[in-house]
Structure 1
Amino acid sequence: MEASKLLQVSRIYIEPEAAVLPRGRQVLARWPEAEVVEVASHWRIPELSGDEANVRRWVRIKTEALVVGVKKSLAAKPNGRSADFIAPSTANGCAMACVYCYVPRHKGYSNPITVFANIEQITGYLERHVARQGMKLEPNQCDDTAWVYDIGENSDCSVDAMVSDNVRDLVDLFGSLPTAKLSFATKYVNRDLLDWDPRGRSRVRFSLMPERLARVVDVRTSPIAERLAAVNDFVEAGYEVHLNFSPVIVTPGWQEEWRSLFAQIDAVLTPQAKEQLAAEVIFLTHNQQLHEVNLGWHPRAEEILWRPELQEQKRSSNGFINVRYTAAEKRGYLDDFRALMGRHIPYCRIRYAF
């Protein structure tokens, strides 16, 4: 989707503390015609969250509303799966509308971008946190030599970069840190990032799935072919580029669709891109609350995601009741997926599979 269609900001909700910071003023200057609404907290905006009627305006709110706040709590949370640490977020929410996204659970019935204006505090905290870790002495599934910080757990950084310079500031910071690298997953191709200088310290993870499914569940994102084609350009620009096969959704004939995608990957990627390639494999996790929200605006997607005959309930580490493919069946699905990768893209190692 074109940037001009993805973000048509007409109303900016802003905390007074954020409005006086340089980054807050930068965001306001990017949409000078937008109505500015002062709010006490970026978390509690009745027009945007907690109102079930907003389901019918799900995409419009994402397009037209923007929230600017101050990140109060700064902490790098240990992870150990995709990254060593989850960095304090510089944004949450998204202008895209992937139907399986877990972030809307935290903000009710709409989830536009919230950008945090106190970027200097966040980068300063991260620089100190990296220094305290020292050298990484033992390789792990995150990286052999660098401490990896995921900067996009609650947002898509490629889109965030169209709102403010927060993401660029983080890329510049990690480019100067020899013991760490940043990482983020994305479903949007923002070619402005190709003009930056990541110095090999930024890992971009392009999320891929079969195109037929993506057209239904990856709403307002870049087409799969465009994401795949961007891999070569980002590698050439100095980024480390991995793939996220996420979520893997079980449908009739799903193995054949993934086989076709793997063949496409093999045909498109350059030798340079293949040499540094790795991937994460993450099977679908869904949620009862999100299922009910989606029924209000995109019921067709729920025919694909909500499969009670294949799924079982499991409480997450955050306390949510989620549904996942049954453990016994999922082991077989994962074995099939690994075998397909081994046959068609054997050079792509799996860093993490769940």
Structure 2
Amino acid sequence: MPASPSADPSRLWRPRRVLITRAARGFAHGRAMAERAAALGAEIVELPGDRLMLPKPPDPRAAYREAKATLAVVVSPPSKRRPQPIPPSADWRFDLAEGCHAHCQYCYLAGSLAGPPITRAYANVNEILAVLPAHLGKGGVTSASAERAHEGTTFEGSCYADPLGIEHVTGSLAEAVRFFGRWDAPVQLRFTSKFGDVSSLIGLPHGRRVRVRMSVNAQGLIRYEGGTSPLQARLDALGRLARDGYRVGLTVAPIQPFPGWAAGYEDLFARAATALADSPDLDLTVELITHRFTPGSKTVLRDWYPGSDLDLDEAARTRKLTKFGATKFVYPGETMRDLRASLQDLLHRHLPDARLLYWT
């Protein structure tokens, strides 16, 4: 099992190797990523073309380690630049990057992204952002909801990556924040993170059109989130952002009924309340997401983390089908009801002004 995260909230990822494609080198933003990574000590590999040439160690564990230490700077093709619906989080999702360098043993990307788990950062950020205005007012979540219409058209920027965790190399989030800050329309950029370094976002002209959510969990489960910031660092970062005028949120995930879970989640909400206590004009949302897995993700996670004691017992779960007909395993109905009732009560007790967006 990977070691627990360091108590140092400023710890930043230093990729060992950066692969930059020929097309990515044609963008100033892509070249700047490579320069910042080189300053951190990364080996920069300039590829002769646009196809990623990945090392293929014979040992699967070595291949995993190599991939997790690699950043690829590439160009997002037109097919990936088309925003896609992403209920229940937001109207649309768009991608500044894909993949994550952290070692979360319940990683929801396992089985979702093909190939080795390298992190890809897109050099053509301006092209990615330029297609968003055509989707103004056309979403099916906040744009079509009486309860959430005040959020405007929402764009999720962290569906397949944690963009804040690599921001010190990419600078892409700052570009997106400035873009939404200039966009004088009922819109909102949303992203979530497990990292606490928000220094590059403080002071940016966000125009209150950006909501930063921290992905958090009870302290007893943080040990499954190797390579991320400690829980308190994330909460402190959220308070810092709130005091800088950002709209903020808590993404509590993945919720699990571990021994002592009620006290663990009460501690989480109490800590959050303390971190946000002195934030003027606080706009706080909460998303509650229970743990689930698919047969494919279980296979990948068991391969990545063979020593993990994470509960992936299918016999203790209820089998359900996704809207695409795929199998997923969730907690039984009684467990879900107990978790939901308890967490909503704790939320109302410690963060009474927070808006609960959804439970799933």
TM-score in terms of structure 2 length: 0.85
Deviation at 1:112, TM superposition (A): 2.4
Contact persistence 2:155–2:188 (CA under 8 A): yes
Between the aligned partners of 1:106 and 1:97, the Cα distance in structure 2 is 15
Return the letter of the residue paired with 1:38. Answer: L
Q: Choose the corresponding residue for 1:19, options 25, 29, 47.
A: 25
Q: Letter of the 1:214 partner, please give it.
A: I
| Deviation per residue, 1:40-78 (Å, 9 max, x gap) | 556x65536xx7833345345323x11111111121212
From 285, 295, 304, the equivalent of 2:292 is 285
Deviation at 1:173, TM superposition (A): 0.7
Task: Extract unaligned runs of 5+ from structure 2.
Answer: 1-5
Q: Structure 2 matches for 1:208-247, cutoff 5 A?
A: 208-215=216-223, 217-247=224-254
8 A contact 2:319–2:330 mirrored in 1: yes
For residues 215-236 of structure 1, the C-alpha deviation after alignment (integer angstroms, 9 at most, x for no partner) is 2x11111111111122221011
Mapped to 1, the partners of 2:117 and 2:187 lie a distance apart of: 31
1:326 aligns with one of 323, 332, 341: 332
Structure 1 segment 75-86 matched on structure 2, within 5 A? 75-86=82-93
Secondary structure of 1:194's match?
Answer: coil
Distance change >3 Å, CA 289–CA 197, structure 1 → 2 = same
- Specify the alignment match of 2:213 in structure 1: 205
Alignment correspondent of 1:38? 47
Distance 1:290 1:338 in 2: 28
Relative to structure 1, the CA distance from residue 98 to residue 40 in structure 2 (aligned partners, 3 Å threshold; closer, same or farther) is farther
Contact 1:84 1:148 in 2 (8 A): yes
Identity of aligned residues (%): 23
State the superposition RMSD in angstroms.
2.8
- C-alpha deviation, 1:330, in angstroms: 1.6
Query: What amino acid is aligned across from residue 219 of structure 2 in structure 1?
Result: E
Q: Find the counterpart in structure 2 of residue 251 from structure 1.
A: 258
- Partners of 1:280 and 1:130 in 2: how far apart? 24
Corresponding pairs, count: 345
Per the TM alignment, residue 203 of structure 1 is displaced from its structure 2 partner at its CA by 0.3
> CA 1:95–1:273 in 2, change beyond 3 Å: closer, same or farther?
farther
Matched, 1:150 2:156: yes
SS in 1 for 2:103: coil
Q: 2:99, 2:120 within 8 Å by CA — same for their partners in 1?
A: yes
Q: Structure 1: which 5+ residue stretches go unaligned? A: none
Q: State the Cα distance separating 1:153 from its structure 2 match.
A: 0.7
Give the direction of change, closer, same or farther, for the CA distance of 1:79–1:10 in structure 2 (3 Å limit): closer
- The CA deviation string for residues 242-286 of structure 1, in whole angstroms up to 9 with x for no partner, is 111111012122112112222222333225368422200000112
Q: Report if aligned partners of 1:138, 1:145 keep a CA contact under 8 Å in 2.
A: no
Match of 1:160 among 143, 157, 166: 166
Distance 1:123 1:275, change over 3 A: closer
Q: Which has the higher helix share?
A: 1
- CA contact 1:231–1:273 (8 Å) conserved in 2: no
